[in-house]
Amino acid sequence: MFKHNFLWGGAIAANQSEGAWNIDGRGPILLDYRTAGSKESPRMLTIVDKDGNPGMISTRRGTVLPEGAQYAILDDVYYPSHEGIDFYHRYKEDIKLFAEMGFKIFRMSICWSRIFPTGIENEPNKEGIEYYKNVFKELHKYNIEPLVTLVHSEMPVYLEERGGWENRSTIKYFDHYAKTCFTEYKGLVKYWVTFNEINNEVGMLEMFGNTANHETYQMAYQRLHYQLVASSHAVKMGHETDSKNIIGGMICGIPHYPGSNDPDDILLCRHTWEKAIFYCGDVLCKGEYPVFSNRLWNEHDVNLDITNQDLDDLREGTIDLYTFSYYMSNVVTTHEVKDVVSGNFAAGARNHFLKYSEWGWAYDPKGLRYYLEVINDRYHKPIMITENGLGAVDELDDDDAINDEYRIEYLSDHISEMHCAVENGVNLIGYTAWGCIDIVSMSTGQMSKRYGFIYVDKNDQGEGTLKRIKKKSFYWYKKLIETNGEIL
């Protein structure tokens, strides 16, 4: 059975929930310029070119801002992050609901530009510091531990426009930000995550047919290296600031299966695990690049800026806790296949042993157990699942109730496999269900792609009262936590 002190909870991110994008001293982030999309049409970034003409560019990794262009807010365009679900103003109401469910831990992120609006200031924004301090105090009022991500797919747009993580100098700005957070929130936060899904820097290039060129890979691996170094700095600073801090890294956890028993498929599957999962995991957990790194770099003529000090820092800044997201599995094959998966962040051959969600994601609870057992065996560190959930369209009935049995089934199936992994010896210490309250979807910008136990009255056009309504899954999760999973 799960440990008696197992950390049950939920997770959201600042950029998908807070809103309040331009008040109390907050600076802009790239997501503030991102439009809404759908499962058929991608989200876009709005800009003005060097002549002042409005336009849009892709949000895909590797897309470069045209020369002379700037990110811009355009008239008559809906930006989902500007309001989110207004967690900024309604956090007390929402935390009270989390407490009613019995949360032991709540994963959230700090918006970097709410602390340092451009990223280069010497002194932090006082309103931003106080806001998060108040959120953490509200959580502690209900004996809920905050689990805080320092960088969750965002940074001040001032740094973005100047190259962001392509510049080594960004490390020092991150260091100042991280040190400020550790210092200001000492005694209020002990569980930290450095970067959300850090492996996506390279992994997303593989997602859509491997069309990226060598230059794009060079930039991606270089950005990733600087982030890994920054992560190691944060671990060291966090431990120096407070020896009680427990600091994790986070991986986008997608297990891969070979499409056939062809030895070429078996080898491709192994190499995909190495590139997508182990490359970052080994650096975060073991403090050094794995032996297969040279093969990965040589595939795309990558020549990284790595100093001896970087290598020392990586060795000295290994994480205490392995955290990861899990939504689906993928199939890889060297053979041409006609039946392929298409959807938001889903690609590759279809697995005919699995069913798929409306957004093209494989429904694979056993994949979660498989991933847990592989990671536990490789790293021998405590593990926490920090994202897992079902995105689905929820319908209110005539009594303003949501009967989301499909979500209960999804979570029950996945948590049952977690239990099997624990019984098999996996050191799993916590689980935070993703989007525990409905938030704006990162992939599509929709509200209709809902994950939460709590319904938020808002549609894909940004209309609604923001009223919070408990779903059937709210009461199920409450019972699950009360019994420490025994209801399964």
Rg (CA), the chain: 21
Helix and strand numbers, DSSP H then E, in the chain: 15, 17
Active-site residue, 423 included: no
b vs e for 281-290, b when ≥16 Cβ sit within 10 Å of the residue's Cβ?
bbbbbebebb
Q: Which helix (H) or strand (E) holds 376?
A: helix 365-379
Residue 155, token pair as written in the block: 């940074």
List strand residue ranges (DSSP E) for 152-298, in order.
Answer: 191-195, 246-252, 256-258
pTM: 0.96
Phi-psi label, residue 229: left if phi above 0, alpha if psi -120 to 50, beta otherwise: alpha
Q: For residues 153-173, give the mean pLDDT.
A: 95
Predicted local distance difference test score (pLDDT) of residue 384: 98
Residue 108, token pair as written in the block: 């959230």
End-to-end alpha carbon distance in the chain? 11
Identify the CA nearest to 282 among candidates 293, 268, 295: 293
Provide the β-strand partners of residue 31: none
- CA max distance for the chain: 65
Q: For residues 192-220, give the mean pLDDT.
A: 85
The yes-or-no verdict on residue 334 having pLDDT over 60 is: yes
Predicted local distance difference test score (pLDDT) of residue 270: 97
Q: For residues 39-52, give the mean pLDDT.
A: 92
Tell me the average pLDDT of the chain. Answer: 95
Distance CA 464, CA 364 (A): 34
Distance CA 61, CA 240 (A): 34
Residue 428, token pair as written in the block: 């799993």
Catalytic pick among 83, 197, 201, 417:
197
The fraction of the chain above a pLDDT of 90, given in percent, is 89
User: Would you give the distance in Å from CA 71 to the centre of its chain?
Assistant: 23
Q: For residues 202-206, give the mean pLDDT.
A: 82
- 3-class secondary structure, 439: coil
Predicted local distance difference test score (pLDDT) of residue 338: 83
In this structure, what DSSP letter does residue 469 have? E
Q: For residues 170-196, give the mean pLDDT.
A: 98
Active-site residue, 197 included: yes
Q: Which residues contact 110 (CB under 8 A, 6 or more apart)?
A: 14, 132, 148, 149, 150, 181
- Taken in order 71, 75, 77, 79, the sign of the CA dihedral is positive
Q: Give the pLDDT band (50/70/90) at residue 203.
A: confident
The one-letter amino acid at 244: K
Identify the CA nearest to 105 among candidates 283, 321, 277: 321
Task: Give the count of beta carbons closer than 10 Å to the beta carbon of residue 175.
Answer: 16
Region of poorest pLDDT, from 55-59, 236-240, 283-287, 384-388: 55-59
In tens, the pLDDT along 415-462 reads: 999 999 999 999 999 999 999 999 999 989 999 999 999 999 999 999
Q: For residues 252-274, give the mean pLDDT.
A: 96
Distance CA 174, CA 128 (A): 16
Q: Exposed/middle/buried for 260, CB within 10 Å: 0-12, 13-18, 19+?
A: middle
Catalytic pick among 145, 154, 274, 387:
387
Identify the CA nearest to 193 among candidates 236, 247, 112: 247
Predicted local distance difference test score (pLDDT) of residue 317: 98
Q: Which residues contact 439 (CB under 8 A, 6 or more apart)?
A: 12, 13, 16, 17, 84, 85, 451, 452, 456
- Please state, in angstroms and as integers, the Cα–Cα distance from residue 284 to each residue in 281, 297, 321, 466, 479, following that order: 5, 18, 10, 39, 35
Predicted local distance difference test score (pLDDT) of residue 306: 98
Predicted local distance difference test score (pLDDT) of residue 33: 97
Q: Give the pLDDT band (50/70/90) at residue 126.
A: very high
Q: For residues 405-423, give the mean pLDDT.
A: 98
Task: Give the count of beta carbons closer than 10 Å to the beta carbon of residue 38.
Answer: 15
Identify the CA nearest to 139 among candidates 114, 111, 107, 112: 107
Q: Which residues contact 414 (CB under 8 A, 6 or more apart)?
A: 326, 365, 368, 388
